[in-house]
């Protein structure tokens, strides 16, 4: 019998750091022979800026209940998730029925682990259900132990020993745990990822097996775990996917030309690139300390400050000459990290940003803010040894002196040489993982082959 192309519906959680990796994974599925439809919310689809990548991946939408303003319209995490979890399932069922009636039958649903209700719908329709985790397996392990009641909240111990992980202090755990009571809606969501995981046919993880071998092996004893990362555009890794140079969509419009032109004039390895992602917010005092630390370090800097955060900047930083520093509202991060002038990346330690820096061999300075970022920063410094985690004072602020010291240590110090060497080692392993015959490539191949009938 002639084999048919399986049709996969891919549903990311509607945030930039989740859409990007699931869109990239969709391209890998398509490259291996599957047909893919990416599904996001009405608000997100109307907010996306199209980038240069061409792809035959189709787009469809469901509703989160806030079609005019998304998360901002909801006013709080709790209100957003409550409404989305009510409206989302109904509109997903409507989408599946529409696709089926038009002869566009779905065979499999790949869904973000933040939305476990999707699996219940997949099973209701008799479809293969594959959950995909967009955070590292170390963090997944921690949340699983909270789910099982083996990690009690609020925290009372001073050290935590979990399978496959090094000893962790309270501040090495996600912020939802050590700052118990903050963002209760998000804590419920990240712990709820495991509410029905035993029903999933596949458990996919956007990580590299060689990066998290022990914890991945431990997870694989319970579930059909497969690593499929790093899910970033192919041209920055294995180059198997022709012309795959960007993710394809962005919620924020990047100032690409200004960023790249400015970088072109800077010496190799001299620039400090600073970005705290699409979600994290810093208070005015912290912004002031970072601004002064950047000015004092003597190195040129490129700083991404979202429009909503600009009013917190000290006025003189915006008057800095373009030779010394450039502040933009958004930029093409992968292209920036790949530029030869960039010597280090000051980051909030979001997982997607880490995978990007790791895949390009860029040393990191971790300034974690919220969620999984504190755990990621722990591994950057103490396990993978490809960066430094900044110290905070008694108010939780990273001082200008700490910012300056970290930058100088990476760009000019002896420790920086070791960090750069380790960064290059992980870069090599990232490329090998997704290249033909690599650990992630074989797992994606296996997944698609099991879908074809």
Looking at residue 315, its pLDDT comes to 80
Tokens of 278: 């699409």
In the structure encoding, which two tokens stand for residue 239, read together?
């180059």
pLDDT at residue 279, rounded to an integer: 77
Non-local (6+) Cβ contacts of 391 within 8 A are 398, 402
Q: Which architecture does CATH list for 7-248+433-446?
A: 3-Layer(aba) Sandwich (3.40)
10 and 110 in contact (C-beta within 8 Å)? Answer: yes
Domain spanning 254-429: CATH 1.10.10.10: no
Strand partners, 109: 9, 129
Residue 286 φ then ψ, to 5°: -65, -40
112 catalytic? Reply is yes
Chain CA centroid to CA 261, Å: 27
At 251 the pLDDT is 82
- CA–CA gap between residue 267 and residue 36 (Å, rounded): 42
The conformation of residue 107, written as its DSSP 8-state character, comes to -
CA distances from residue 335 to 12, 43, 183, 245, 332 in whole angstroms, order as listed: 23, 27, 33, 9, 6
Rounded Cα distance between 226 and 219, Å, is: 10
Instruction: Output the pLDDT for position 419.
Output: 97
Equal fold, 7-248+433-446 vs 254-429: yes
The residue count of the chain comes to 453
- Could you tell me which residues are beta bridge partners of residue 111? 11, 131
In SS3 terms, 1-65 reads as CCCCCCEEEEECCCCHHHHHHHHHHHHHHHHCCCEEEEEEEHHHHHHCEECCCCCCCEEEEECCC
Amino acid 1: pLDDT:
43
Q: Where are the alpha helices (DSSP H) in 68-116?
A: 70-74, 77-101
Does the annotation mark 311 as catalytic? no
Annotated catalytic residue, options 18, 42, 145, 339: 18
Parallel, antiparallel or unpaired: strands 128-133 and 249-250: unpaired
**Which ranges of 306-350 does DSSP label H, i.e. alpha helix?**
315-318, 333-338
Q: Counting Cβ atoms within 10 Å, is residue 101 exposed (0-12), middle (13-18) or buried (19+)?
A: exposed
Question: What contacts 424, CB < 8 A, 6 or more positions away?
Answer: 361
Q: Which of 7, 64, 107, 112 is catalytic?
A: 112
Give residue 277's pLDDT: 85
Which token pair is 315?
Answer: 């006025």
Specify the 3-state DSSP secondary structure of 276.
coil
According to the model, what pLDDT value does residue 289 have? 96
As a whole number of angstroms, the distance between CA 453 and CA 449 comes to: 9
What pLDDT tens digit does each residue of the chain (453 aa) get?
445 789 999 999 999 999 999 999 999 999 999 999 999 999 999 988 776 555 678 999 999 999 999 998 999 989 999 999 999 999 999 999 999 999 999 999 999 999 999 999 999 999 999 999 999 999 999 999 999 999 999 999 999 999 999 999 999 999 999 999 998 999 999 999 999 999 999 999 999 999 999 999 999 999 999 999 999 999 999 999 988 998 888 888 888 899 999 999 999 999 999 999 887 789 999 999 999 999 999 999 999 999 888 899 988 776 655 678 999 999 999 999 999 999 999 999 999 999 999 999 999 999 999 999 999 999 999 999 999 999 999 888 999 999 999 999 999 999 999 999 999 999 999 999 999 999 999 999 999 999 865
Where along the chain do its domains lie? 7-248+433-446, 254-429
């Amino acid at each position: 019998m002639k084999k048919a192309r399986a049709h996969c519906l891919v549903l990311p959680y509607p945030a930039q750091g989740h859409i990007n990796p699931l869109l990239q994974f969709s391209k890998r599925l398509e490259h291996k022979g599957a047909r893919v439809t990416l599904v996001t919310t009405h608000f997100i689809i109307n907010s996306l800026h199209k980038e240069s990548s061409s792809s035959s991946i189709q787009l469809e939408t469901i509703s989160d209940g806030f079609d005019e303003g998304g998360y901002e319209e909801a006013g709080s995490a709790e209100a957003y998730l409550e409404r989305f979890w009510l409206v989302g399932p109904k509109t997903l069922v409507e989408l599946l029925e529409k696709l089926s009636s038009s002869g566009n039958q779905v065979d499999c649903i790949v869904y973000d682990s933040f939305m476990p209700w999707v699996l219940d719908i997949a099973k209701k329709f008799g479809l293969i259900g594959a959950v995909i985790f967009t955070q590292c397996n170390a963090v997944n392990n921690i949340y699983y132990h909270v789910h099982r009641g083996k990690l009690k909240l609020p925290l009372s111990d001073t050290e935590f020993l979990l399978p496959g992980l090094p000893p962790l202090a309270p501040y090495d755990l996600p912020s939802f745990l050590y700052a118990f009571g903050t963002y209760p809606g998000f804590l419920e969501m990240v712990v709820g990822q495991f509410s029905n995981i035993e029903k999933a046919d596949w458990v996919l993880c956007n990580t590299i097996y060689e990066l998290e071998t022990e914890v991945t092996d431990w997870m694989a004893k319970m579930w059909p775990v497969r690593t499929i990362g790093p899910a970033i555009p192919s041209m920055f890794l294995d180059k198997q996917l022709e012309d795959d140079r960007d993710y394809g969509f962005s919620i924020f419009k990047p100032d690409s030309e200004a960023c790249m032109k400015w970088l072109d004039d800077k010496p190799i390895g001299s620039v400090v690139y600073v970005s705290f992602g699409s979600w994290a917010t810093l208070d005015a005092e912290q912004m002031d300390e970072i601004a002064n630390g950047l000015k004092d370090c003597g190195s040129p800097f490129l700083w991404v400050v979202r429009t909503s955060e600009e009013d917190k900047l000290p006025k003189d930083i915006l008057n800095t000459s373009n030779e010394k520093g450039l502040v933009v509202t958004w930029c093409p991060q992968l292209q920036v990290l790949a530029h030869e002038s960039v010597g280090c990346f000051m980051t909030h330690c979001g997982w997607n940003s880490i995978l990007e820096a790791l895949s390009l061999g860029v040393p990191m300075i971790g300034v974690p803010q919220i969620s999984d970022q504190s755990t990621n920063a722990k591994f950057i410094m103490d396990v993978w040894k490809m960066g430094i985690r900044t110290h905070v004072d008694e108010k939780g602020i990273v001082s200008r002196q700490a910012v300056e010291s970290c930058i100088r240590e990476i760009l000019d110090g002896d420790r920086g040489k070791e960090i750069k060497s380790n960064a290059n080692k992980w870069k090599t392993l990232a490329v090998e993982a997704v290249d033909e015959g690599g650990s992630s490539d074989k797992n994606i191949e296996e997944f698609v082959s099991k879908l074809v009938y």
